[in-house]
């Protein structure tokens, strides 16, 4: 567990270094990473083997190379076209291959949940490059209950919507989800100028909302608050995350 935490911290440090490099190259950057910010991670680097606190910046770790299964080919076509308005399907190619897991084996009297991510509404949907969702199940304290899953990149963009149309199999029986748990959906996209993937917004599904059929839930501003203590809506406009839930139960 600690090795995983160390790897994640190193990935975030790498992101900060990339952001600092980008700031030095672009004096007009709106998201510049100042020298004072860089000094904040100096002690983390010095104590990387024992560091176990929350990272001081809301950044995503630089993704490590995915280990390919036999017969798979790695798509290295990383198009760094910064024309954010281009909506060609080629822009949805390579940076998030997806880590979706199969449905758990059924058991008599036990309920399984499939959440279909239909689409997300964003005012700048057409400008998001390689968008995908990270799906996690957290307890009331924000601790992971299941393996984190990532969708493939979105299938298409249309007006103010990014369409996913993908099923996510929740990796725990509904009856075994603890009180206060929630399913989180973090919307992420690639920033070519910074060369890292960023969380744009998030949504969550609470236990009393687990019901078969369509569901629309609100979007919140980052950073993701897994404890749901300080929530701030992303927008006042009627733009939401659209889901469809299916419950599976063997009698």
**Structural domain includes residue 51:** no
**Structural domain includes residue 197:** yes
Structure-model confidence comparison of residues 93 and 146, the more confident one: 146
Predicted TM-score (pTM) of this structure: 0.63
Give the model's pLDDT for residue 62. 59
Confidence of residue 63 (pLDDT cuts 50, 70, 90): low
Segments forming the whole domain that contains residue 188: 114-250
- What percentage of the chain carries pLDDT values higher than 90? 49
Give the model's pLDDT for residue 72. 35
**Structural domain includes residue 41:** no
Residue 77 has pLDDT above 50, yes or no: no
Give the model's pLDDT for residue 79. 35
* Greatest Cα pair distance in the chain: 64
**Structural domain includes residue 124:** yes
Q: Looking at residue 187, which CATH number applies to its domain?
A: 2.60.40.150
CA 148 to chain centre: 9
**Structural domain includes residue 234:** yes
The total number of structural domains in the chain stands at: 1
Residue 235: cis peptide before it, omega within 30 degrees of 0: no
**Structural domain includes residue 94:** no
- What percentage of the chain carries pLDDT values higher than 70? 77
The mean pLDDT value of the chain amounts to 80
**Structural domain includes residue 103:** no
CA 161 to chain centre: 17
**Structural domain includes residue 217:** yes
């Amino acid at each position: 567990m600690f090795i995983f935490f160390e790897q994640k911290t190193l990935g975030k440090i790498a992101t900060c270094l990339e952001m600092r490099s980008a700031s030095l190259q672009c004096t007009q950057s709106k998201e510049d990473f100042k020298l004072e910010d860089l000094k904040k991670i100096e002690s983390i680097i010095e104590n990387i083997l024992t560091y176990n606190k929350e990272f001081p910046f809301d950044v995503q770790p630089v993704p490590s190379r995915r280990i390919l299964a036999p017969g798979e080919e790695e798509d290295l076509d990383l198009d760094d076209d910064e024309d954010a308005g281009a909506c060609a399907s080629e822009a949805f190619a390579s940076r998030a291959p997806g880590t979706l897991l199969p449905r758990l084996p059924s058991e008599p009297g036990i309920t399984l949940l499939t959440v279909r991510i239909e689409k997300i509404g964003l005012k700048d949907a057409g400008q998001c490059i390689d968008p995908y969702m990270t799906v996690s199940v957290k307890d009331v304290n924000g601790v992971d209950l299941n393996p984190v899953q990532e969708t493939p990149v979105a299938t298409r963009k249309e007006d103010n919507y990014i369409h996913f149309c993908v099923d996510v199999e929740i990796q725990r029986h509904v009856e075994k989800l603890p009180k206060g748990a929630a399913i989180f959906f973090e919307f992420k996209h690639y920033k070519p100028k910074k060369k890292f993937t960023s969380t744009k917004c998030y949504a969550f599904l609470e236990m009393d909302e687990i019901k078969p059929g369509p569901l629309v839930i609100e979007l919140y501003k980052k950073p993701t608050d897994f404890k749901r203590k300080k929530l701030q809506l992303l927008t006042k406009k009627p733009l939401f995350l659209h889901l469809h839930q299916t419950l599976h139960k063997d009698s």
